[in-house]
Amino acid sequence: MHRYLPTVGAVCALAFATTAAGSDIKSLKVEIEGVEQGGRLPDKAAFCPPSATIQRNISPAITWSSGPQGTRSYALLMTDPDVPRDFSRINKAAVMIRRDDPRVSVYHWVLADIPPDTKSLAEGVESEGLVPHGKPVGETAHGRRGTNVYSSFLASDPEMAGTYGGYDGPCPPTNDERPHRYVVQVYALNVPSLGLNSTFDGSSVENAMRGHVLAQGNAIATYSLCPSVTKQLGQ
């Protein structure tokens, strides 16, 4: 089965840029429970799954290996680097978004200040379903939630607009030829907190991590709602 996966350099670029001063980057083993590297996320993890799906927007279970000595917290980001740059073409009838069309990366999951003794997040702990207007940001027992892409993407929809905290899952265009990758990245940090107050996003986490990353790892899954792509991938 074909897997549309990023190169090692593309996934690790941020890690090398944010390595703690005077240290070499270490590796974490990160896994999405029930999904092999490059495998498909289950429909229940999607923000907008097929209509017959009973559950939706359930955050997947994530596990990771222990960070090196000196780890004082973790951060987790889930990104989709395959979002079409031209939003006006998304889900438009008689329009196909081509595989090589320009793309941008967005955040689907933003979680900072994860306690150093935490090495896993159970299924559903960051989202038990779709919540119109979004889940709250801020402190939880397993870290501090930031905002994800739906805060801006749904801002003009009065029935859905709000601040979307923590995890909200895939909703790739139904007319996109490219299967979307969902990259879960976990970082071991040498500080107990990134000092992010109020509402923050994934870019804020990336900036705050600079100079504090001891180790990082990622797990990659795919998802598509385009019939021709799901058929090609045997999904």
Tokens of 77: 């980001």
- If you write DSSP's letter for every residue of 148-175 in order, what string do you get? -THHHHTTT-TTT-S--BSB------TT
Higher confidence at residue 232 or residue 53?
53
**Burial annotation 140-160 (CB, 10 A radius, 16+ → b, else e):** bebbbbbbbbbbebbeeeeeb
pLDDT reported for residue 23: 65
**Mean pLDDT over residues 38-63, rounded?**
95
Helix (H, G, I), strand (E, B) or coil at 23: coil
**Mean pLDDT over residues 1-7, rounded?**
37
Q: How does DSSP classify residue 10? A: H
The total of structural domains in the chain comes to 1
**Mean pLDDT over residues 72-92, rounded?**
96
Q: Which residues contact 202 (CB under 8 A, 6 or more apart)?
A: 77, 79, 107, 110, 146, 148
Do the Cβ atoms of 99 and 133 come closer than 8 Å? no
Does residue 1 lie within any of the structural domains?
no
Long-range contact set of residues 2-6: C-beta below 8 Å, sequence gap at least 24: 2/232, 2/233, 3/38, 3/222, 4/178, 4/179, 4/181, 4/222, 5/37, 5/38, 5/181, 5/220, 6/81, 6/181, 6/183, 6/220
Does residue 106 lie within any of the structural domains?
yes
22 exposed, middle or buried (CB, 10 Å; 0-12, 13-18, 19+)?
A: exposed
Does residue 2 lie within any of the structural domains?
no
Q: What whole-number distance in Å separates Cα of residue 70 and Cα of residue 116?
A: 10
Does residue 90 lie within any of the structural domains?
yes
Does residue 47 lie within any of the structural domains?
yes
Does residue 53 lie within any of the structural domains?
yes
Tokens of 7: 């190169």
Do the Cβ atoms of 108 and 168 come closer than 8 Å? yes
Please report, to the nearest 10 degrees, the dihedral formed by the alpha carbons of residues 181, 142, 53, 40 taken in order.
30
Does residue 3 lie within any of the structural domains?
no
Is residue 2 predicted with pLDDT exceeding 60? no
Higher confidence at residue 19 or residue 222?
222
- If you write DSSP's letter for every residue of 82-141 in order, what string do you get? EEES-GGGTT-TT--B-TTS-EEEEEEEEEEEE-TT--EE-TTSS-BS--TT-PPPEEET
Q: What whole-number distance in Å separates Cα of residue 58 and Cα of residue 170?
A: 11
Give the chain's mean pLDDT: 90
Does residue 116 lie within any of the structural domains?
yes
Residue 206 is part of which domain span? 8-232
Domain CATH number, residue 94: 3.90.280.10
**Mean pLDDT over residues 181-210, rounded?**
96
